[in-house]
Structure 1
Amino acid sequence: MRLRPPARWILIAAYLAAGILHVLAPAPFLGITPGWVPFAPTVILITGLAEIAGAIGLIIPRLRRAAGLGLALYAACVFPANIQHAINDLTLADPQLGWAYHGPRLLFQPVIVWWALWVGEVTDWPFRRRQAA
């Protein structure tokens, strides 16, 4: 499918950028990490390294499937931080980002999970591979 390679590179760029930010500038991520997460600075560092590793894995064909699975699982696991970020912001008297950011961000999380699985060649859904005639 011709859409998969460019979609893969977009996701690679996004995860690579996010991973680098997690490693080099963890403060904003610490601010949205739920209080129940132990050793939050270490967790933020590890998640950044996982994002970088997943992005690199998507580039390497023999690692692509594992990277897609890993990034999909990662996206599902960080969803509580996205919820915490929305709660923290939207309960302020003057929210910094508001529903215009948080609503789509929260709704898009399942798409990110699917995107990682699709570009990682774990699934073809909803597209079908053409069968040889």
Structure 2
Amino acid sequence: METSFLKKILRVLLGAFMTLAGIGHLTFQRGEFQAQVPKWLPQAPNFIDFVVLSSGVVEISLGLALIFLVKHQIKVGLTLSLFFIAIFPGNVSQYMNGITAFGLDTDDKRLVRLFFQPVLILWALWSTEALAYLKARIKKT
């Protein structure tokens, strides 16, 4: 499926953001990501660190896949959108528990952040042609 120049640029940009975020999980932002692990998960430090490190590896993998696996961009877009849905409870937990991380130091800032998750999901779907793919599948049924 042929994509527009804008979609290509935004797909690569999202891939770069994901790769950087994943590197942050493993290094310079590890503590902030640990603070976001939902409180309803086991709070053992080793488990929390595992969640952060493994999600960082997933983010790096998805980021690089967005950039380089162009032939599989629809699958990557669908997978990334599901990943964004899967990590959303961490954002909700940050809001519900008043956790300060990533400069989100007020309830208002944490609440506003929640509304960016659907934007990321749509960005992943639109820039990879996964949204057009899903629309076409729905139309066939």
Q: TM-score range by the shorter chain?
A: 0.7 to 0.9
Query: Under a length normalisation based on structure 1, what TM-score does the superposition of the two structures give?
Result: 0.79
Alignment match, 2:88: 79
Report Cα offsets for 1:42-89 as digits up to 9, x if no partner.
Answer: 111111011111111112212322221121111101111001112232
CA distance in 1, matches of 2:81, 2:96: 23
Match of 1:115 among 110, 123, 128: 123
Asked whether 1:4 is paired with 2:7, we answer: yes
| Identity over aligned pairs, percent | 32
Contact 1:57–1:66 (8 Å) recurs in 2: no
More deviation in 113-122 or 99-108?
Answer: 99-108
Pair 2,84 (structure 1): closer, same or farther in 2 beyond 3 Å: same
- The residue matched to 1:124 in structure 2 has which SS? helix
Asked whether 1:48 is paired with 2:52, we answer: no
- Cα deviation for residue 107 of structure 1 reads 0.8
Give structure 1 regions of 4+ aligned residues with deviation exceeding 6 angstroms.
none
Q: How many residue pairs were aligned?
A: 122
Q: Greater helix share, 1 or 2?
A: 2
How does 1:11-50 map onto structure 2 within 5 Å? Answer: 11-24=14-27, 25-38=29-42, 39-50=47-58
CA distance in 1, matches of 2:16, 2:70: 17
How does 1:85-124 map onto structure 2 within 5 Å? Answer: 85-89=94-98, 97-124=105-132
Contact 2:7–2:128 (8 Å) recurs in 1: no
